[in-house]
Copies of this chain bind each other. A is one copy, B any other.
């Protein structure tokens, strides 16, 4: 494998503005282009590639947008070998150069060994590392130690629209020969020590709309006599979480798995330099002071974040407007054994209670636009042991056995539909800044990650 070639491909892939979050035709076109480029790359690798038409998506405003195809690819079909399926996604979060990016988010830029660009670590880099590992065997003219399958989508950041139906449909076809599923769509917990992930939080994303009328008001002409939608919305959002991070929705903690002594010990075993973590995060002070509390609140307790407001004045300067109709956006990260539909009911009921006490004449509508289950695996499954050995080979260290506070719903979905063991092998360092400005992947992580995947193929071959 030629790492320079791999890096050049990453540059090409990052240059494609495959934003699935903003539902506009321009980005959808970029997503289709992204999937076509990836299908071409896999074909040139010798894979049998199918691009599955995913139909179109109905948006809340009535607009309809096409969904980019999902790539199903197969490399090798030797019944004497094990079959590993790799899941990845090639869509990205929005990125706006004006908003804190130091380089063009769609131009991969190397600074001090860091490759900056939207999608560099989430998830274009890891997908290419897997592809690079396969091409290494090709370049060395060696047989692949395992059969490889790929399932690559373009709607992960928008909630993997329509993917579940496809996996259900392909359960006894594409997935029938698959033994293990690997996902590499999260981060280590440190800058230099690799990790294996055995659980992720789920997510329930809510929109709460408060409407007086579909037009804004002038605060001089109407200020003082209106139930202002922003006052209602701020009260609603302010009722969700207290200043210690505790969620105030009644009943929300009822189904959270009780904490066991054994579980506490796993957190104790993890190396986390709080000082370094705080510095690399550039956060002066966290809500908690101990490593164990921090890990538990990222992994095994729910959290609530308020993301923003649509429809209010959001630009620089001063505008004396009373927004007529606003939508507050927040989400709750879910943990075992919280149930998405129970959470939906609890949140809706809570907001309705708070709103009714205000006696506002505005209309409030609560909707949960995404509901993704948490996932947890058995860390004694054989592929977990194989991944550990591959990490020892490449990095010379034991991995951190971690969970991820983020949501990778596909993990839970594979587990429930395909009934195969799923492992998450992250490649990126803790400070990669996925979803935020100046996202990057370290050059070192990208190259060592490629080696790790190759070593993992060899370890998996031994299992069979």
**Does residue A265 face the partner (Cβ distance < 8 Å to B)?**
no
Q: Is A62 in contact with chain B by the CB < 8 A criterion? A: no
Q: Number of contacting residues on A, CB 8 A?
A: 96
Q: How far is the CA of A316 from the CA of B23 in the complex (A)?
A: 8
Closest-CB distance, A350 to chain B (whole angstroms):
15
CA distance A305 to B436 in the complex (A): 31
A177 located at the interface, meaning its Cβ lies under 8 Å from any Cβ of chain B in the complex: no
Using CB atoms, name the residue of chain B closest to A21: B317
Q: 1/0 contact trace for A324-356 toward B, CB 8 Å?
A: 100001010100000000000000000000000
Contact of A312 among B228, B243, B307, B437 (CB under 8 A): B307
Grouping DSSP codes into helix (H, G, I), strand (E, B) and loop, the A interface class, with mixed when no group exceeds half, is loop
Is A232 engaged at the interface, CB distance under 8 Å to the other chain? yes
1/0 contact string of A92-107 vs chain B (CB within 8 Å) = 0110000010000000
A322 to B223, CA, bound (A): 31
CB distance from A79 to the nearest CB of B (A): 39
Instruction: Tell me the bound Cα distance from A288 to B361 in angstroms.
Output: 11
B225 in contact with A235 (CB, 8 Å): no
Task: For the complex, give the distance between the alpha carbons of A223 and B309 in Å.
Answer: 18
Instruction: Pick from B226, B241, B288: contact of A286, CB below 8 A.
Output: B226
Stretch in contact with the other chain, from A69-77, A131-139, A403-411, A449-457? A403-411
Binds B, one of A31-39, A211-219, A380-388, A412-420: A211-219
A288 to B284, CA, bound (A): 47
A100, B214: Cα distance in complex, Å: 8
Instruction: Give the Cβ gap from A267 to chain B, nearest Cβ, in Å.
Output: 13
Contacts of A214 in B (CB 8 A): 100
Stretch at the interface among A5-13, A296-304, A440-448: A296-304
Bound Cα distance A53, B302 (Å): 58
Identify 9 residue pairs between A and B in the complex whose beta-carbon atoms are under 8 Å apart, listed by A's number: A203-B320, A213-B282, A224-B302, A230-B306, A243-B359, A283-B361, A307-B321, A314-B314, A319-B435
Identify 11 new A-B residue pairs, CB closer than 8 A, beyond the known A22-B317, A222-B405, A225-B245.
A94-B315, A207-B318, A213-B281, A219-B333, A220-B333, A223-B333, A230-B306, A307-B320, A308-B313, A310-B316, A321-B435
Chain A: residues with CB nearer than 8 A to chain B?
A: 21-23, 61, 93-94, 100, 158-159, 187, 200-201, 203, 205, 207, 212-228, 230-232, 234-235, 237-238, 241, 243, 245, 281-288, 294, 297-298, 301-310, 312-324, 329, 331, 333, 357-361, 369-370, 404-407, 433-438
